[in-house]
Amino acid sequence: MSTNLKIAVVEDNEWFNRFLVHVIGMIQEYEVKGFFSGKELIEGIQHFSPDIVTIDYRLPDTTGDILMQEVKSIFPATDVVIISEQDDIEVAIELMRKGASDYLVKSKDMKELLFKTLKNIDEKRSLKTEIVELKKEVQTKNEFSKQLIGNSPLLKNVIQLLEKAVKTNISVVINGETGTGKEVVAKGIHYSSGRKDQKFVAVNMAAVPTELMESELFGFEKGAFTNALSRRIGKFEEASGGTLFLDEIGELDMALQAKLLRALQEKEITRLGSNESVKVDCRIVVATHRNLLEEVQKGNFREDLYYRLFGLNVNLPPLRERGNDILILARHFIQLFAKENGMDALEISEKAQQKLLNYSWPGNVRELKSIMDLSMVLCEGQHILPEHIVLQENQSFQSLLQKEMSLREYNLKILQFFLDKYNNDVTKVAKKLDLGRTTIYRMLKEVE
């Protein structure tokens, strides 16, 4: 129940006015004040600022519906309860349509009816407050500074671009490998923009079967196809007023690309099974791990759609290129896991840190989080050691080829990979690589 909820009672009958004030005042959390006319309420409303107003439908100087509109014009969020001697359904419905929260008829059960109504209004107001707080929490959680963790120059450049993106409704194309955080960035754009109070709707183009994609995006009418038992709105309508995030846009079938292009150009869609167009207004943010321009040249992506989507291009760097951000993120994930599981956060030993830095992270940030979560489970002491960092070794080696390095640098990476694998046992590594121990020591010395 709310605390210090202010309630104004407007009733010209002195006895009934005092009765209502007394009944409401029995609830400790409510502050109540009585008024005997509409004029008296309007003159005192600014000083009292009520959350709820009960209004007698027939007052000497006005009517309940007119006074309700006056109250609503001053305090739009104020709930109004109309109290009348007449049990008139049509009048009650009309007043509720105009904004009344309830319509009560004066009777012997007045006390119970009033308590019930005030309780319902109080609960709804509390729920609205909770929803507002949750929205603020979601918005704060999705701020760039909370989600894009690190201080590498590459990441700072991304944040600078994103800060420009939120100032307008320009389309944004996010490029990046799997696991780099494309949806995180899309949410950050939405919750930092003027559309933050509206919906953020995400569609993964790669996860929806081609034959279902049209109905997923545009919706359908009842009877449009077998099992279409009722109307369903699509993602475009759902996101109207907010942001529509189309993930892995490069996977969209060519036939659907034409329909998507029309929706973007005309800002309207047509549900399956309907001839009626529906206007939509949603900001478009798309993401892909492909080079869309190359896909256009290969004939896999429509050129006109490419240029329709073309706006601000944001390239998310792979984790392996972000240097010390790897350790910053690793510590962040440790703190997060510890908090969620009621544990103490652990330190990462120097050798474990080196193991993290030497890995190529084909799965990027998403992979790092999984590995750090597992390391917290495996570790039994106060420090995470190299053996607690369980890497996908075959991926680690293959992903080396994604880098552009000299042969000497590749050799050093390979050597470090095997040293990590065999816990710096030079004799074992020399045997595995068919090298002399002296050669290994010499190569390591070159790194110093």
Q: How far apart are CA 445 and CA 448, in angstroms?
A: 5
> What digits encode the pLDDT tens for the residues 243-281?
999 999 999 999 899 999 999 999 999 999 998 999 999
User: Over 70: is that where the pLDDT of 131 sits?
Assistant: no
User: Over 60: is that where the pLDDT of 359 sits?
Assistant: yes
- The alpha carbon of residue 317 and the mean position of all alpha carbons in its chain are separated, in whole angstroms, by 22
> What digits encode the pLDDT tens for the residues 145-190?
667 888 899 998 998 888 888 888 899 999 999 899 999 999 989 9
In DSSP notation, 79-130 reads EEEEEESS--HHHHHHHHHHT-SEEEE-STTHHHHHHHHHHHHHHHHHHHHH
> What digits encode the pLDDT tens for the residues 281-306?
999 999 999 889 999 999 999 999 99
pLDDT-derived band at 378, boundaries 50, 70, 90: very high
Closest CA to 282 of 391, 200, 167, 175: 200
Rg of the chain over Cα atoms, rounded to whole angstroms, equals 32
What is the mean pLDDT of the segment spanning 73-87?
A: 90
Cα angle: 218, vertex 169, 253; to 5 degrees: 35
pLDDT of residue 396: 47
In order of start, what are the domains of the chain with their CATH numbers? 5-137 (3.40.50.2300), 145-315 (3.40.50.300), 320-447 (1.10.8.60)
8 CB neighbour count, 10 Å cutoff: 26
* Window from 78-87, 352-361, 421-430 with minimum mean pLDDT: 421-430
Give the predicted TM-score (pTM) of the model.
0.61
> What burial class does residue 147 get, using C-beta atoms within 10 Å of its C-beta: 0-12 exposed, 13-18 middle, 19+ buried?
middle
Classify each residue of 14-41 as buried b or exposed e, where b means 16 or more C-beta atoms within 10 Å of its C-beta.
eebbebbbebbeebeebbbbbbbbbebb
Mean pLDDT rounded to a whole number for the chain: 88
